[in-house]
Amino acid sequence: MSATVDTHVHDEEHDVHHHKETFVTKYIFSQDHKMIAKQYLVTGTLMGVIGVLMSIMFRIQIAWPEEPNVLFEALLGKWAPDGVMDADVYLALVTIHGTIMVFFVLTAGLSGTFSNLLIPLQIGARDMASGFLNMVSYWLFFLSCIIMISSLFVEAGPAAAGWTIYPPLSALPMASGGSGLGMTLWLVSMAIFIASSLLGSLNYIVTVINLRTKGMSMTRLPLTIWAFFVTAVIGVVSFPVLLSAALLLIMDRSFGTSFFLSDIFIQGEVLHYQGGSPVLFEHLFWFLGHPEVYIVILPAMGLVSEIMASSSRKPIFGYRAMIASILAIAFLSTIVWGHHMFISGMNPFLGSVFTFTTLLIAIPSAVKAFNWITTLWKGNLQMNPAMLFSIGFVSTFITGGLTGIILGDSALDINVHDTYFVIAHFHLVMGISALYGMFAGIYHWYPKMFGRMLNKNLGYLHFWITAVCAYGVFFPMHFIGMAGLPRRYYTNSNFPLFDDLANTNVIITIFAIIGGLAQIIYLYNFFISMFYGKKAVQNPWKSTTLEWTTPVEHIHGNWPGAIPHVYRWSYDYSKPGHDVDFVPQNVPLMEGEEELQH
């Protein structure tokens, strides 16, 4: 299709008639990148609702341990006899919460939505390189969601070994109820998810390399595209390793191999496994697991860079440094995984090496943070909800990122490893930050996706409640972590030592409940505005990038006529010598105007 359109631009009208789309090809098995983006977004949102609901449930359990609760009784059924949550279910909830939020919401929901929506639109392409693969990628993702959700309903419960599913706990059904069918479904779901992610990533890479419009050199690309491109590369490098780990674990579980298991005595008998090592699994898992956090955060960084420039009416500060730091982060992200394993029993010398590489990654991160702050300096900030979430992103990224200096330092990690300090750190730096990036992207590109505007006042309300609650939840967690409180404890009531932290835990839970409820505002706004929102104009934020040159009503092939050519970088905001404060990329240079050397 795209090839036809490219060469026969004038036949466009005719062409569209020819492929009259049915409901099924338009809304369900669509090969159009814009529709696929929306499918990812809606699926990711629904998974997000489940993930957040789970977190609220286990937060209630931590705050008021072993007390009956109507919510538990209603939602957990037999797993909450008389409304008291079962200890196994607590672990299942934290496990599935982590899995859903990291993979299904912040990887597929974030990257899947915006890479699909923006890559063709911002580089000036009719569609993805392969629309069919793109469709397959979405439907594999959908299938993996279904399998993951269905694992919640199996007899012995879903996977309950933490989202890192370290064997032997995840390998032996006798070690944990969730390690039976629940874990099998988890592994199958993840294997399919990885296939989906790889197909998507390959598509993004090929599209960015091959389908840029005339004049769109790599150094004129918006930072969003750079971020998506590099994210896809990291995904292709690291996801297969998790796939292999999952396959080997399936072998250990079902076919009696001993990749990760050795010398185990459980429930009165010695198992036959010999010679394997759980530490090997940890290496394989974190070889994906750490790049994964950058797979989550880089697209958010890209979105935030773009929105900040557009909303500040200023070029992003240090465009080249921003690209360089994305590349540096991507490279370093693949050689720091060992900082999750300082006390795993690996050679202490490796701990030294990983401390070194880990703290190096703080440098490009710091450069990015400073560049964002400087982008605001002397700007003309348009405080749209997207901009608020972008500023919020930088705030939580700094707060969360700084404590990485402690966790990345092997000597300090000894004492805070696997405590609430870690929870606080990674929720702020990649959880909340990436979520803010996603929200910012949704508020900013909603008119592009649905042709209507989101209500800004609901947006403001959503942002401010969320912002206060996010700090209210995660800031105190640093301190209870430093007090030595381990994560993944069903209740702390067996440790009088931690009794003085109980009140703090109650406060955290109250913030979590309010913050969770605040998302209802967003959901209401999101779904209602789809039908009743204010009709959007073509370029509501007065941005320079190409997606705003397409018509509001979506058409297959994106541009009704020829694809626009590009003459300048994407950040000509408030450029001296122009009457308006933005110059779209498809506007040729004026006579005597110089393109910025960047």
Partner 1 sequence: MTALLTIIIVLFVAVALWQMVKIFDLAQVGTTNTQVADDHDNKINGYLMIGFLGFIYVITILCFWYIGDLPLMSNAASEHGSEVDNLMIISMVVIFVVQTITQFLLHYFAYKYKGEKGRKALFYADNNTLEFIWTVIPVIVLAGLIIYGLFTWNDIMNVDEDEDPMVIELYAQQFKWTARYSGGDNVLGKANVRLIDIDRANILGVDEDDPNAQDDVVVSELHLPVGQQVVFKMRSQDVLHSAYMPHFRAQMNCVPGMVTQFAFTPTVTTADMRQNPDIVEKVQNINELRMDRKAEIEESGQELLYEFDYLLLCNKICGKSHYNMQMKIIVETQEEFDAWMKDQKTFPNSLN
Find all residues with CB under 8 Å of 594, minimum gap 6, and list them: none
- Judged by CB, which is closer to partner 1: 403, or 586? 403
- Judged by CB, which is closer to partner 1: 168, or 200? 168
- Judged by CB, which is closer to partner 1: 120, or 351? 351
Helix (H, G, I), strand (E, B) or coil at 453: coil
- Judged by CB, which is closer to partner 1: 290, or 417? 417
Least Cα distance to 407 among 343, 312, 496, 461 occurs for 343
- Judged by CB, which is closer to partner 1: 448, or 556? 448
Taking the complex as a whole, the smallest distance from the CB of residue 42 to partner 1 amounts, in Å, to: 21
Taking the complex as a whole, the smallest distance from the CB of residue 142 to partner 1 amounts, in Å, to: 30
Rounded Cα distance between 575 and 580, Å, is 8
Q: Is the dihedral of CA 449, 453, 458, 460 positive or negative?
A: positive
Taking the complex as a whole, the smallest distance from the CB of residue 437 to partner 1 amounts, in Å, to: 15
Rounded Cα distance between 196 and 146, Å, is 14
Structure tokens at 444: 């900013």
Instruction: Supply the DSSP symbol for 550.
Output: S
Taking the complex as a whole, the smallest distance from the CB of residue 69 to partner 1 amounts, in Å, to: 9
Q: What is the DSSP string of 497-521?
A: GGGGGHHHHHHHHHHHHHHHHHHHH
Residue owning tokens 């036959």: 272
Taking the complex as a whole, the smallest distance from the CB of residue 79 to partner 1 amounts, in Å, to: 12
- On the question of a cis peptide bond just before residue 168, with omega within 30 degrees of 0, the verdict is yes
- Judged by CB, which is closer to partner 1: 204, or 541? 541
Taking the complex as a whole, the smallest distance from the CB of residue 23 to partner 1 amounts, in Å, to: 30
- Judged by CB, which is closer to partner 1: 114, or 571? 571
CA distances from 44 to 50, 59, 96, 108, 111 (A): 10, 22, 14, 7, 10
- Judged by CB, which is closer to partner 1: 444, or 556? 444
Taking the complex as a whole, the smallest distance from the CB of residue 487 to partner 1 amounts, in Å, to: 8
Beta bridge partners of 452: 535
Q: What is the DSSP string of 175-209?
A: T-GGGTHHHHHHHHHHHHHHHHHHHHHHHHHHHHH
Find all residues with CB under 8 Å of 268, minimum gap 6, and list them: none
Beta bridge partners of 573: 582
Taking the complex as a whole, the smallest distance from the CB of residue 238 to partner 1 amounts, in Å, to: 23
Rounded Cα distance between 500 and 489, Å, is 16
Task: Provide the b/e sequence for 254-266 (b: ≥16 CB within 10 Å).
Answer: eeeebbbbeebee
- By residue count, the chain amounts to 598
Taking the complex as a whole, the smallest distance from the CB of residue 517 to partner 1 amounts, in Å, to: 7
Least Cα distance to 302 among 326, 320, 330, 280 occurs for 326
- Judged by CB, which is closer to partner 1: 6, or 88? 88
Residue owning tokens 């900013």: 444
- Cβ burial, residue 100 (10 Å; 0-12/13-18/19+): buried
Structure tokens at 41: 């977004």
- Judged by CB, which is closer to partner 1: 111, or 410? 410
Distance in angstroms between the alpha carbons of the first and the last residue of the chain: 36
Find all residues with CB under 8 Å of 530, minimum gap 6, and list them: 450, 452
- Judged by CB, which is closer to partner 1: 25, or 257? 257
- Judged by CB, which is closer to partner 1: 238, or 403? 403
Cβ 382 vs Cβ 444: under 8 Å = no
Please report, as a single letter, which amino acid is at residue 44: G
- Judged by CB, which is closer to partner 1: 372, or 436? 372
Taking the complex as a whole, the smallest distance from the CB of residue 100 to partner 1 amounts, in Å, to: 17
Cβ 251 vs Cβ 257: under 8 Å = yes
Taking the complex as a whole, the smallest distance from the CB of residue 409 to partner 1 amounts, in Å, to: 4
- Judged by CB, which is closer to partner 1: 95, or 144? 95
- Left, alpha or beta for 12 (phi > 0: left; psi -120 to 50: alpha)? alpha
State the Cα torsion 198-204-206-209 to the nearest 10°.
-140
